[in-house]
Structure 1
Amino acid sequence: MGGTDDKETVLPSGSAAHDDAASESSCYATEDEEDTQIHLGPKISIREHLEKDKDDESLRRWKEQLLGSVDVNQVEEVQEPDVKILSLTIVSIGRPDLVLEIPDSGKPKGTWFTLKEGSKYNLKFSIKVSNDIVCGLKYTNNVWKKGLKVDNSKQMLGTFSPQAEPYTHVMPEETTPSGMFARGNYSAKTKFVDDDNKCYLELNYSFDIQKDWPN
């Protein structure tokens, strides 16, 4: 998975594709959560994107490949991209994948999952993109234990075109901390935002790190 990973510590990061092109209650990132934003030009439609370079054969083919199966004739002049994070899967070698559906509220009830201390794992997200291209989709994650922030991570996921089937994005492998002081309950806030700082999901949840995997 491509992108830039910027972490303060190594702890589980919560709720994530395509490497070809890359306030507590607010769903818009605050200054301390985001890098300097890129100022983009005026938004144009998919149809205009194709018409703009129609005389450049190689560029036109690249754009058509990026757009995949999108029927340009059925697309309105300008639509906002619709990005949905459908599920989170925890992948750890030697264990069955744990697939977690993401609730519409963005707030799973209770402790969402439990990880074994000192274990290696990957987070895998299913991402559906509709209507238009989403540029510079970024993942940010903050984790707290007993009110103290213990993890702050960011990663650029990339640019995604609309398509019928969801994208699958696998995060880099991580290792949970170990020891008596690492065990316990954690709270986390995860966001998926684009180049315009528009947030498509804010996920607030809790998880546990324990001595062993749950039965």
Structure 2
Amino acid sequence: MSGEPEVAHTPEEDTEEEEIKSSYKPPPEKTIEEILAADQEDESLRKYKEALLGQAQAGAVIVEPDDPRKVIVKKLALCVVGRDDVELDLTGDLTDLKKQVFVIKEGVQYRIRIDFIVQREIVHGLKYVQKTYRLGVPVPVDKMTHMVGSYPPKTEIQSYTTPPEDAPSGMMARGSYSVNSLFTDDDKNVHLQWEWSFEIKKDWKD
């Protein structure tokens, strides 16, 4: 996909930007003690920090010692109400995923669930990015970015489920699709990138 076109700045715009920068006054610095004291007085912030830290308060949480990653993506699941979840194991050879083709009934509402482990330290700003390509079409027909959020390290598997999506319907929508999925964060760390496939059919068994 092509990047955003460059925008030329006029001298007037540059002057305005400099004025904005020069008028900015940073807040007064606080000592760590003052910040902690303020947090203690703010009940909602204190509870948020306790919930975010979770088990991390007791020390480093390491679930898989031989894996240096902070985020280990375990599984992708296609979730449809009234049907068993269809799952992809993301811990093995990712090149085999293309051989496992999900079948999606046209027009059905579905969600995607990602199961993952966070270990060693808190991760901030996790994102799930998905680009969908129609077979034979070089540009994506759909792209979605979901803000997953910040997660503390835990011994248990944690999950994120996307909002419901409607599968396209009609004869023109039926066919094979490939998906490029990316689990990343605000620091642009790529925790996992994988490709998988699905096929839209008139019915589940067609």
Q: Give the TM-score of the pair, scaled to structure 2.
A: 0.70
Aligned length: 167
Query: Do the aligned partners of residues 104 and 193 (structure 1) sit closer, same or farther apart at CA in structure 2, a change above 3 Å counting?
Result: same
How much has 1:105 moved relative to structure 2?
A: 3.5
Whole-angstrom distance in 2 between the partners of 1:71 and 1:153: 34
1:68 is paired with a residue of what secondary structure?
helix
Query: Do the aligned partners of residues 62 and 97 (structure 1) sit closer, same or farther apart at CA in structure 2, a change above 3 Å counting?
Result: closer
- In the alignment, which residue of structure 2 is the partner of 1:3? none
The answer as to whether partners of 1:137 and 1:193 remain within 8 angstroms in 2 is yes
Q: Max radius of gyration: which structure?
A: 2
Per-residue Cα deviation, 1:108-158 (whole angstroms, up to 9, x for no partner):
141431111111111112121111111111111111111242111111111
**RCO greater where, 1 or 2, for CA within 8 Å and sep 6 or more?**
1
The answer as to whether partners of 1:86 and 1:101 remain within 8 angstroms in 2 is yes
- In the alignment, which residue of structure 1 is the partner of 2:84? 96
- In the alignment, which residue of structure 1 is the partner of 2:137? 147
List alignment gaps of at least 5 residues for structure 2.
5-31, 63-67
1:196 maps to which of 162, 187, 199 = 187
Q: Give the TM-score of the pair, scaled to structure 1.
A: 0.67
- Note the 1:1-215 alignment, pairs <5 A: 53-55=35-37, 56-58=39-41, 62-70=48-56, 72-74=58-60, 82-107=70-95, 108-145=97-134, 146-148=136-138, 149-214=140-205
The answer as to whether partners of 2:146 and 2:162 remain within 8 angstroms in 1 is no
2:83 is paired with a residue of what secondary structure?
coil
Moved more, 162-171 or 50-59: 50-59
Letter of the 2:179 counterpart? A
Whole-angstrom distance in 2 between the partners of 1:98 and 1:106: 17
Per-residue Cα deviation, 1:8-67 (whole angstroms, up to 9, x for no partner):
xxxxxxxxxxxxxxx9xxxxxx967xxxxxxxxxxxxxxxxx999554425565433311
List alignment gaps of at least 5 residues for structure 1.
1-22, 24-29, 33-49
- In the alignment, which residue of structure 2 is the partner of 1:16? none
- In the alignment, which residue of structure 2 is the partner of 1:14? none
User: How well do the aligned residues superpose, as a CA RMSD in angstroms?
Assistant: 2.9
Whole-angstrom distance in 1 between the partners of 2:165 and 2:126: 21
- Aligned sequence identity (%): 34
Letter of the 1:147 counterpart? V
Moved more, 51-60 or 147-156: 51-60
